[in-house]
Amino acid sequence: MNKVIEAVNGVKIPQLGFGVYKIKKGEEFERAIREAIRVGYRHFDTAKIYGNEEALGRELQKSGNPREQFFITSKVWTTDLGYEATKRAFEQTCKKLNVTYLDMYLIHFAGPRYLEAWRALEELYSEGKIKVIGVANFEIQHLENVMKHSKIPPMVNQIETHPEFPQNELHDYLARHQILHEAWGPLGQGNKALLGRPELTEIALHHEKSAAQVILRWHLQRGIIVIPKSSNPQRIKENSEIFDFELTEKEMETIDRLNTGKRYSVNPNGYMVNP
Ligand code: NAD
């Protein structure tokens, strides 16, 4: 299971990861992570604001797999933006996860002082404490601003992306600038209207897959990193079984046409929405 995708600096990122936003704490969380590791996920996406870094770190360690086998992402929250504050936030995140380095660290939103925060990320990267540095929910103007004022351009932008909101313009921009596109909400946050679209169920039937698997496969074929979330063991497994079939060009185009412009993060500039 899985395929790797290379960041501009050559670091290998498993293209399928596991998102842990809003998984209920306690037994449900532990079971979900255990199951994810069991079926082969090694890439995990958390954030300070999710409040589960500590629990994630504990479960990864309990699995007995060596640290280097995991690809761990976390994010600096808006209230921690700034040079000193971001460095402190990074240390706290590492402490909670019980790790000495992060595979990927992202600025969660382009909030106040994100340029200073980026300078902190650049330094931590140069010291080898973060393998891949990036951003989330950044628009073209924010990316341009970082690139204009910094030494190292962002390597990844994690943004809301799904068939109803494919981010075509930003996707092309990221490709042109060698910034990897990572999708949050890759399944449209499980929206039943999307998952029940007849175009998707027809393609799914043809490949003997589910609509969710078809959507995830569409992302993979666009060169996007996906981090679907689920706490249901069947779905966790199902979402990982997306490397044994391929969508035709025509099927890709059919899914491209599901674009309605509907997004879940209400305001793209509002860093307080939908962390
Ligand atoms: P998602 O698109 O992954 O949808 C998750 C929901 O889809 C689940 O709660 C479940 O209801 C449903 N689902 C999952 N697998 C399914 C299946 N096989 N069949 C049917 N339904 C299924 O949405 P998400 O959780 O918002 O996004 C994924 C991850 O992205 C998060 O866990 C988090 O790590 C990250 N994220 C980042 C940001 C950001 O601002 N950077 C925002 C939101 C989420």
Does 68 reside within a domain? yes
- Residue whose CA is at the smallest distance from ligand 1 atom 19: 212
Taking CA atoms, 50 is separated from 19, 106, 128, 234, in Å, by 10, 14, 25, 23
pLDDT at 267: 57
CATH number of the domain within which 226 lies? 3.20.20.100
Query: What is the domain count for the chain?
Result: 1
Does 273 reside within a domain? no
Q: How far is the CA of 237 from the centre of ligand 1 (A)?
A: 14
Give residue ranges with CB within 6 A of ligand 1: 19-21, 45, 108, 136-137, 158, 184-190, 195, 210, 212, 227-230, 235, 238-239, 274-275
Classify the complex by whether its ipTM is higher than 0.95, answering yes or no: yes
Q: How far is the CA of 84 from the centre of ligand 1 (A)?
A: 32
Does 84 reside within a domain? yes
pLDDT, one tens digit for every residue, the chain (275 residues): 789 999 999 999 999 999 999 999 999 999 999 999 999 999 999 999 999 999 999 999 999 999 999 999 999 999 999 999 999 999 999 999 999 999 999 999 999 999 999 999 999 999 999 999 999 999 999 999 999 999 999 999 999 999 999 999 999 999 999 999 999 999 999 999 999 999 999 999 999 999 999 999 999 999 999 999 999 999 999 999 999 999 999 999 999 999 999 888 765 454 444 43
Does 261 reside within a domain? no
Q: Catalytic: 50?
A: yes
- Residue whose CA is at the smallest distance from ligand 1 atom 42: 275
Domain that residue 22 falls in: 4-256
Does 271 reside within a domain? no
Q: How far is the CA of 136 from the centre of ligand 1 (A)?
A: 15
